[in-house]
Amino acid sequence: MTYSSVAKLIELQKRLSRRIVSSLKPMDTASIRRIVGLDAAYSKRYGGVAIAALTTRDGQLLTYSVALGEPPLQYIPGLLAFREAPLFYTALRLLDSNYDLVVVDGHGISHPRRAGIASHIGIAIAKPSIGVAKKKLYGHEQIVSEDCKPPCIAGYVVDEDTGEKLAAIVRTGRSKKSRLYVSPGAYTDLDSATTIVLELLEARKTPLPAPTYHADRISKTIARQLDSGELSPRSLKKRHRTLLDYI
């Protein structure tokens, strides 16, 4: 990546953020039935291993799809969407199923230009999206209740200059490290996003919201099996019998 091409992508995000921010509004959380979790791992032989895991509202895994491919870019903080989103779009098309919301491993508007990967994806597929990251990318932390009972809201990430609330800091366990940064991607707001994520954490008692937890586990397993040779890329294209076939 050259400096000028990086600048181009940053400008693209600045324009995209207009649409992202204007899409942020409370959503009808009660109408959410099916949720897709998006996460990626990396295989030495085939590159990115993107997983779209379809779950029920209570975190039950119904089915999932896999997309393999060499990422078009190296990882650059703030530009993750250009590296990983393309593979997620492929995985979502392969899923060819109905869903009401996507939860992405990474940030939504808790981003220097309000254009994290979850926001890119939400706008691209025109559906509500939520970003759930393990580490902060941008903004300042305002801790409110450091010792709340997990899963709970320990505080927020706010913009230094505007004071705008960007993400909720969710405590998922007793240790200091078990925190998540929850931010709206698109077509939802911070409160709705946080409500849903807290519910998903509660449902399965997982360290990550169930949809993303499943996607994370599956992507890592497949990446490892691909590199060890016990799994071939073509075998991934086979349609497997899943819970969806029995529902």
Q: Is 223 in the site for DNA (CB under 7 A)?
A: yes
Residue type present at position 6: V
Supply the minimum distance, in Å, between the C-beta of residue 113 and DNA.
Answer: 9
Which of 34, 136, 204, 217 touches DNA by CB under 7 A? 136
What number of other Cβ atoms are within 10 A of residue 23's Cβ?
Answer: 19
**CB closer to DNA, 27 vs 104:** 104
Evaluate the CA torsion angle 153, 155, 161, 163 in order and state its sign: positive
Q: Is 42 in the site for DNA (CB under 7 A)?
A: yes
Q: Is 204 in the site for DNA (CB under 7 A)?
A: no
Q: Is 75 in the site for DNA (CB under 7 A)?
A: yes
Q: Is 44 in the site for DNA (CB under 7 A)?
A: yes
**CB closer to DNA, 105 vs 189:** 105
Beta carbons within 8 Å of 177's beta carbon, 6+ residues apart: none
Q: Is 154 in the site for DNA (CB under 7 A)?
A: no
- Per rule CB under 7 A, count of chain residues that contact DNA: 28
What number of other Cβ atoms are within 10 A of residue 120's Cβ?
Answer: 28
DSSP string for residues in 179-192: EEEEEEEESS-HHH
Which of 17, 54, 63, 78 touches DNA by CB under 7 A? 78
CA distance 111 to 97: 30
CA distance 125 to 146: 36
Burial class (CB in 10 A: 0-12, 13-18, 19+), 32: middle
Q: Is 131 in the site for DNA (CB under 7 A)?
A: yes
Supply the minimum distance, in Å, between the C-beta of residue 84 and DNA.
Answer: 7
Which residues lie near DNA (CB under 7 A)? 39-42, 44, 75, 77-81, 105-107, 111, 116-118, 131, 133-138, 220, 223, 227
